[in-house]
Amino acid sequence: MDKRTTLINKATNQEDGKKLWSIIAGFLNASDKPIKITVEEANDTRRKAQNRLLWLWHNEYVIHRYNCAGEVFGPLAWHEVFKDQFIGTDEPVKIKGKWVVRAKSTTDLNVKEFALMLTKYEVEAAQEQCLFSQPIDLYMKAVFKQGDR
């Protein structure tokens, strides 16, 4: 066995503990080598869904701007403008005699802030008659925040 990743919920009954020990025993029985155990909190898949939805919408917005205004630019170029408009900027700094203002990144946002930003993006696009797709697998995870992470 090389590696196994398993999600274990909070131990509300003995079944969770049994599941954990069966995984460990399986590794011990499958190899003569010592095993390494790492325990960490599960990653929040909502952040990944938010990023996928954001880039899906960026692609749709770029197509919309081409169709309605003849503008030609790619999703990456739009993302730079988008960050400035929807997330804001860091404080200006002077570098080699020039003032530089860097747009903040989506990585600066927590899940709740990211969901709010996506909602604002969707509303503003709709005001331009650009209606974004809402794939159920992404949209529910990305926009409807559940928790404080």
> How many Cα atoms are found within 13 Å in the side-chain-facing hemisphere of 81?
10
Same domain for 52 and 31, yes or no, is: no
Same domain for 32 and 49, yes or no, is: no
Same domain for 12 and 61, yes or no, is: no
Q: Say what the pLDDT of residue 148 is.
A: 42
Write the burial class of residue 103 (CB in 10 Å: 0-12 exposed, 13-18 middle, 19+ buried). middle
- DSSP one-letter code for 89: B
Same domain for 62 and 14, yes or no, is: no
Same domain for 67 and 10, yes or no, is: no
How many angstroms separate the CA atoms of 129 and 76, rounded?
22
**What is the band of 17 on the pLDDT scale with cuts at 50, 70, 90?**
confident
Would 149 be classed as within a structural domain? no
Same domain for 118 and 136, yes or no, is: yes
Contacts of 109 (CB under 8 A, 6+ apart): 87, 117
Same domain for 100 and 134, yes or no, is: yes
Are residues 107 and 50 in contact, defined by beta-carbon separation less than 8 angstroms?
A: no
Each residue's pLDDT tens digit, 29-63: 888 888 888 877 666 667 888 999 999 999 999 99
pLDDT at residue 106 above 50? yes
Which residue, 108, 59, 69, 67, is CA-closest to 86?
108
Phi/psi of residue 93, each to 5°?
-130, 150
Is pTM, for the whole model, over 0.75?
no
> How many domains, the chain?
2
Same domain for 20 and 67, yes or no, is: no
The whole domain housing 37 covers 1-42
Same domain for 5 and 23, yes or no, is: yes
Would 63 be classed as within a structural domain? yes
How many angstroms separate the CA atoms of 121 and 106, rounded?
13
